Amino acid sequence: MELQLPEILANLDVDIEDPATCPPARWGIIGPGGIARQFLNDARDGTACDVTAVASRSKERAEAFAAHHGIAHAYGSYEELVASDEIDVVYVATPHSEHRDHAILALEAGKPVLVEKAFTRNSAEARQVLDVARAKGLFAMEAMWSRFLPHMVVARAIVRSGALGDVVQVVGDHGQTLTHVERMWNPALAGGALLDLGVYPISFIHSVLGSPGEIRAMGHRLSTGVDSSSVAALMYPDALGVATTNLAARTPTRAWIGGTQGRIDFDTDFYRPGGITVAIGGEEQVRWEAAYPAGGFQFQIAEVARCLDAQATESATMPWEDTIEVMGIMDEVRRQLAVRYPDEPSLRPRHPGGGPG
């Protein structure tokens, strides 16, 4: 007898571990900004880990952050933090333009790293970081926290189960009004919509379909030369991925996966904790969602702690090759939009058709 949708969900091959059961790890933060605050809160509220040190180029800023959050150690240089015996792993939360250098600084000091997305400015820099991690035998991971959220894990399991049939289209969108944020205008800080916002739909599509054979992109640029919006069509032999992003308007930020036998619809703000609605045959629909005792970062934090405990150098959910491929997709989108950052080599086309080189 053919399985019905509730039975399909009940029989999925998926195991979502409670982040609170992860091994303990002592984190040091490079860059005490807003995203670092969410990281710290989720580590403490949702895992067995803690933040024990923070560093900024301004010691006063580091000390203020540490005092406000009850962090034991504050440093006025990143070199001091990565040399500290009070931490086990480093979270790099500085602007994109600094990710490569700060990640390599930590790795060279013998510290594993979790690097905020986008991992670096481009795929060449990503390879440089991961080459150091490989040479040192150290763990490194891009902080694409969405991949670890339970509704994302369940959605990928549904795709693997074949319940949707053949996946033929995956769509993701992310738009926020960020024109008031000075950093977003600044090419020197690798500003623009793509690396901050567009990385979410592109990484989402990649997590379902893998690396595309061809890419077609169009969009707009700000007066400073960085991208303000883009739409990227990612072409696969039998499927299409569409990623849209902009920093001038708040969009529904929705996503969906369409197959020949069914679809998955993600809640608004698909990249955040939430739920999915699964439809098979266009009729039967079932909603799946999880409770989130913390903000969502706890799942990637727990993944890092478990990988460190297992002496693994990369995560199976966010492996190094995926980071390089996602960065390569964004390189190609920027190349077609004529967006380059200062001191960045020319972005070479993946091949004459915009596919992999």
Domain 149-292+315-337 in CATH: superfamily?
Dihydrodipicolinate Reductase; domain 2 (3.30.360.10)
**Sequence-ordered list of residues with C-beta below 8 angstroms from that of 195, at least 6 positions apart, any chain:** 96, 118, 121, 330
User: 198-208 pLDDT, tens per residue?
Assistant: 999 999 999 99
- pTM score of the predicted model: 0.94
User: 92-122 pLDDT, tens per residue?
Assistant: 999 999 999 999 999 999 999 999 999 999 9
Q: What is the pLDDT of residue 6?
A: 63
Mean pLDDT, range 162-188, rounded to an integer: 96
What would you measure as the largest C-alpha separation in the chain, in angstroms?
A: 67
Location of each CATH 3.40.50.720 domain in the chain? 19-146
**Sequence-ordered list of residues with C-beta below 8 angstroms from that of 113, at least 6 positions apart, any chain:** 89, 90, 91, 92, 103, 106, 107, 129, 133, 138, 139, 140, 141
Residues in the chain: 357
Establish how many alpha carbons lie within 13 A of residue 214's alpha carbon, considering only the half-sphere containing its beta carbon. 9
Given pLDDT bands bounded at 50, 70 and 90, which one contains residue 354?
Answer: low
Which DSSP category does 192 fall into? S
Burial class (CB within 10 angstroms; exposed 0-12, middle 13-18, buried 19+) of 67: exposed
Q: Is the pLDDT of residue 14 over 90?
A: no
Mean pLDDT, range 111-140, rounded to an integer: 98
Domain 19-146 annotated CATH 3.40.50.11260: no
Mean pLDDT, range 41-67, rounded to an integer: 97
Q: Is the pLDDT of residue 135 over 70?
A: yes
How many other CB atoms are found less than 10 A from the CB of residue 166?
Answer: 11
- Which 3 state secondary structure label does DSSP give 34? helix
Q: What is the pLDDT of residue 290?
A: 84
Q: What is the pLDDT of residue 3?
A: 43
Location of each CATH 3.30.360.10 domain in the chain? 149-292+315-337
User: Which residue matches tokens 């990143």?
Assistant: 78
Mean pLDDT, range 290-314, rounded to an integer: 94
Mean pLDDT, range 122-149, rounded to an integer: 98
Given pLDDT bands bounded at 50, 70 and 90, which one contains residue 1?
Answer: very low
Mean pLDDT computed over every residue of the chain: 93
Question: Concatenated DSSP letters for 62-110?
Answer: HHHHHHHHT-SEEESSHHHHHH-TT-SEEEE-S-HHHHHHHHHHHHHTT
